[in-house]
Structure 1
Amino acid sequence: MAQRSDNWWQRNKFKLNGLVLILPFWFLYEAMNPVFPASWPTQTIGTFEVTPTPLTNDAPYQHHGDWVKDFSLQFCEGCVANIRQAYMAIAAEQPAIEDFAEADLSILHGSSFAQHVHAKATAQPKDGDKVWLLIEDWQGKLHVGSWDWPQS
């Protein structure tokens, strides 16, 4: 008959199994209840009312070789249907809309409830930089608005 080894590990290893079963519920709760930073002020850009919300307070991160910062944008009701294309970038000067035509970076995407964007940025935006939103409507008219980059 085998001799039983009654040490600390043998008496308590079942607790590790309990932890493995409980932890997914903690992470599920965290995933279902995200906490976002406060929204920035609403602006009227042309005929569109826009409220941007950064998804994190973190600095821009690298995404496919470019530095980007994630934003969620809330538009007025029915406004999204009137947008042909829209781009967002973080820069000191207003970027030209032609700069965005070659790549799909910085283009707004999503549903009529909220738009998401990976706004092109520098590795560390400076004080004085602005978050630029360029909106082109179906008539080809360009509407431009900006928000000041928060000081660090």
Structure 2
Amino acid sequence: MRHLFTAVLAGTALLSAAAPVAAAPVVPARAEFQCNLGFMPTKPTVGVGSIVGNAWAKCSVAPEVHHMTLTLERRDGGAWVSEEIAHSDKIPAPREVYEVKTRCMPGVWRVAATASGSLGGTPFAFTDFSMERFITAPECKR
């Protein structure tokens, strides 16, 4: 689990009605909202003729806006090539799972996840990558 974003909102504590106004200090209150992003399973999986990537987002408070982009990437020499991209605007309240799927091809694969949006009025953007997985030709034929 990786830390995605934390917003700290400062406010003013309420004064007790029973306490005299002169004796009651104004104390800032703090509320911390955060979202986390992770992969489960931690690597792409092989389905029937397909490769599937999953990621999840979990927020302590529902963000105002949340956009998730998942990309299945295949290593081609020294570069990562995007083979399939999925987008979702589902709000993680408190948790949401996202999926991307493409046809199976042998090679080294990973999932890239980019979450962006607004939490507590503050914009955020975060990208993370799953663990890599080597997928063989026999795995693709099942």
Q: TM-score, normalised by structure 1?
A: 0.44
> When you count strand as a share of all residues, which structure comes out higher?
2
Report the structure number with the largest CA radius of gyration: 1
Bigger RCO of structures 1 and 2 (CA < 8 A, at least 6 apart): 2
Q: TM-score, normalised by structure 2?
A: 0.47
> When you count helix as a share of all residues, which structure comes out higher?
1
